[in-house]
Chains A and B, each alone.
Chain A
């Protein structure tokens, strides 16, 4: 990576997977529905998954359930695939959503065991588009490291849902969007992307023995 980048910003680049959903919210910071939503996600993640005395397979399963509850997966899929989403059949869209959920769950669950007491502090929020809220937060590690995580939320009929997380300026959805667009043009088809995702999920599952 280019050596002009500053190390503390840089170190946070992809560690989102490790911390973002893991950290308790300080009660006094919970000032709005959106902030409370982010806090609940963090609190539930730490209590029920990271700090819970259960086997890793059980953690993965709980996280999968939680993930579906808090994230707008079809919405993320629509954004990540953009024009390819509209060109895909409903069956392909459903298959993509299932695979993408598995990619995220198993990518993140690899790091569950590394949690050691990081906390999340909501620092503010602002309107995001016509129906959304951007919640800004900081993850504070126990060696006083800190990095910024922004949560892009959308109000759906059933409540807030996460559409994207932005860690130190790097958006998960935008990064996957460009990654997947490249794979589609390399393999020449949407089916090619689904095949690559299938083998990635199989690898991740095998590495974690589940």
Chain B
């Protein structure tokens, strides 16, 4: 080995071990806020495809608990450890992971203030902060109430999922599990119905005289026919779904009394209550003035820059991406486009054109899977997104046990593959 080659290898090794410091001088700084499906995708994608970028990721949790597959934890089919992922994979790719909470963005000065007191400067920001629960939107449902009737809709450190699981385990046979389900838009449109299914899966085996009462602020939902076929096949008589038109919208919660009260005054007493409340973009997006009257962040549909703050690319559940669902897969797919756009804009190049993808599996039972796939494209002006005609589809209806069994296994592979992409 020549001395020159050897020196090059040594400096490469040094760059790997102290990447941020080694690159800090002069390298363009891409700051990523949020270490979930959007943020982790963005950070990893940036390091793989644009190694000239200095990439830092700000995330308060030391490990990320996924919402996908959390319903299988509720069903007792997975353990929390199996849906918990650390950031060592991203560190190994050269991402500087900062364990802190980003409080506010100054998009003019291009600075972010952290709770710990530090201020970070950036050239381009990828913001993937997720959602906030709109406590107070349902009368009586505040943070204290969520410790009695969990929402389990923001995984955080997993406490909400664990609480709901413990309550299901403690409920006597013959009890009623009540769910309050919000109007659109909200995180993971099929999520409440997968949750109903997998709670039913647990109850059928352990507490077969129990019931599930699902009070819904909508008259229709994602993959509805497929879910309801599955409920009839697997859990006949166990699930009562009450749509908006039958007074399904919960407006008031009495967590202490175990009551979900609907708009037209019906008080439903439940043994375990899971309140999935109305949501908005996470607090930092609101505090930084990025949201509009909807509570979500309007974005340029090609670059994902916030309308209110060019240079701040907002991806994941916090934005309003036209017809795209608030799913982990969309967060990951659009995060990559946001990074590619940010990199192009930093180099004065044209923003790349790309389609966006959604793949969403739901478990109706542990061995019964269904799915929906969509392909989306932005328009040239960056003002809208449309589904590409004839591009996607949903699982066929009918008595297809082999297809359902296979789709449950495809879902496992989907989970392994996307979490490897994010955290591996």
Does chain A bind chain B? no
Query: Which residue numbers of A lie inside 8 Å of B, CB to CB?
Result: none
Chain B contact residues, CB within 8 Å of chain A: none
